[in-house]
Amino acid sequence: MNLFDNFKDPQLCKTLLARIHAELDGELRFMEVCGTHTVSIFRSGVRSLLSEKVVHLSGPGCPVCVTHDSEVAAFLELAGKNAIITTFGDLMRVPGPDKKTLKSVQAEGARVKVVYSPFDALKIAQDNPNDKVVFLGVGFETTAPAIAATVKVAREQGISNFSVLCFHKLVPPALDALVGDPELQVQAFLLPGHVSAIIGVEPYRFLAGKHGLPAVVAGFEPVDILQALYMFVTMRNEGKIEVVNAYTRVVSDEGNPKAMSVMNEIFSPCDALWRGIGLIPGSGLEIRDEFAGYDAMRVFDMQLHDVPEIKGCRCGDVLKGKMSPDKCPLFGKACTPASPVGPCMVSTEGSCAAYYKYRI
- Where along the sequence are the contacts to ligand SF4 (CB under 6 A)? 313-315, 318, 325, 328, 330-331, 335, 341-342, 344-345, 352
Give the whole-angstrom CA distance, residue 168 versus residue 191. Answer: 18
The minimum distance between CB 246 and ligand SF4, in angstroms, equals: 30
Query: Is residue 251 a contact partner of residue 245, using CB atoms and an 8 Å limit?
Result: yes
Contacts of 85 (CB under 8 A, 6+ apart): 75, 78, 79, 102, 110, 111, 112, 113, 134, 136
Distances (CA, A) of 250 to 4, 35, 200, 218, 264: 13, 18, 10, 10, 22
Would you report the helix, strand and coil content of the chain in percent, each value rounded to 5?
45, 20, 35
Nearer Cβ to ligand SF4 (143/324):
324
Nearer Cβ to ligand SF4 (3/338):
338
Half-sphere exposure of 25 (CA within 13 A, CB side): 6
Nearer Cβ to ligand SF4 (293/337):
337
Contacts of 204 (CB under 8 A, 6+ apart): 172, 175, 189, 191, 196, 215, 217, 243
The minimum distance between CB 44 and ligand SF4, in angstroms, equals: 22
Nearer Cβ to ligand SF4 (3/360):
360
User: Do the strands 267-274 and 243-245 form a parallel or antiparallel pair, or are they unpaired?
Assistant: unpaired
The minimum distance between CB 49 and ligand SF4, in angstroms, equals: 24
Nearer Cβ to ligand SF4 (135/356):
356
Query: Is residue 334 a contact partner of residue 312, using CB atoms and an 8 Å limit?
Result: yes
Nearest residue to ligand SF4, using CB?
A: 342
The minimum distance between CB 18 and ligand SF4, in angstroms, equals: 34
Nearer Cβ to ligand SF4 (15/336):
336
The minimum distance between CB 36 and ligand SF4, in angstroms, equals: 19
Helix (H, G, I), strand (E, B), or coil: what is residue 80?
coil
The minimum distance between CB 350 and ligand SF4, in angstroms, equals: 7
Give the whole-angstrom CA distance, residue 134 versus residue 126. Answer: 12
The minimum distance between CB 168 and ligand SF4, in angstroms, equals: 22
Nearer Cβ to ligand SF4 (74/352):
352
The secondary structure element, H or E, covering residue 78 is: helix 69-79
Nearer Cβ to ligand SF4 (165/352):
352
The minimum distance between CB 322 and ligand SF4, in angstroms, equals: 11
Give the whole-angstrom CA distance, residue 10 versus residue 8. Answer: 6
The secondary structure element, H or E, covering residue 272 is: strand 267-274
